[in-house]
Amino acid sequence: MERGEISRREVETKLNSVGDYVKMDYLQQCLKKNLDFDTRKFVLTTLSGIYETRHMLLESGKLIRASAEINTTFEGKMNEYMKSVQLFIKAGAFDEVDISFAKALACAAERQKEGLKQKRKDWFKAQADEFLKKDKRKHAMGTYERLLTFELQQDEKMAAQETLLHIYEKLGKIKEYAHLKKSMH
């Protein structure tokens, strides 16, 4: 082990005795140091998990994507990129979703790509519904608008458009409402 390098065991030992905020600070400091592959991977995924439980979803997604970058298998990379896609959807960071999703598709075998697209679509639908349940109409609007850019079956498209019309009406988005209404007929 090189001088100044921290081992995974040292990191695990330190984490066992402290709370989440101290863990987050310590793990951030560890990332600035010289770490072997296994320890860096452990630190990234652990810190991402803590951020996720603390609802710091954007940061969590970025960390899990960084972990995917150093993953040694295509399957592992693809799964971690998809995990970051899910976190970015929940955070409403759609540009980040696009970046991670493109990387996941690049790692996927041809037979897996349709499944990944379906997962992404399902996650968008679920998050849009979640935003509506929490009465976060603006977030729901953005999520439905992005969902409508995907390849959707006719019934899925109609349902998303109807919901989006309702959201536009509630938000007083008259132009958007009229434009969508016109495009539906």
Q: 168 to each of 29, 158, 178, how far by Cα in Å?
A: 45, 15, 9
pLDDT at 6: 85
Helical (H) or strand (E) element with 84? helix 74-91
User: Is the CB of residue 85 less than 8 Å from the CB of residue 104?
Assistant: yes
Q: Which residues contact 121 (CB under 8 A, 6 or more apart)?
A: 147, 150, 152, 156
With a cut of 50, which residues of the chain have pLDDT below it?
1-3
| Residues facing residue 6 across a β-bridge | 35
* Alpha-carbon span 104 to 125, nearest angstrom: 19
Q: 119 to each of 72, 98, 124, 125, 126, how far by Cα in Å?
A: 23, 14, 9, 10, 10
* Alpha-carbon span 41 to 24, nearest angstrom: 15
pLDDT at 184: 84
* Alpha-carbon span 65 to 120, nearest angstrom: 16
pLDDT at 104: 97
pLDDT at 1: 41
**Mutual angle of helices 154-171 and 174-184, in 10-degree steps:** 160
| Residues facing residue 35 across a β-bridge | 6
| Positive or negative torsion for Cα 16, 17, 23, 29 | negative
User: Is the CB of residue 33 less than 8 Å from the CB of residue 3?
Assistant: no
Each residue's pLDDT tens digit, 40-57? 999 999 999 999 999 999
- Ordered by start, the domain boundaries in the chain are 115-185
pTM above 0.75, yes or no: yes
Angle (CA) 94-99-100 rounded to 5° is 95
pLDDT at 5: 77
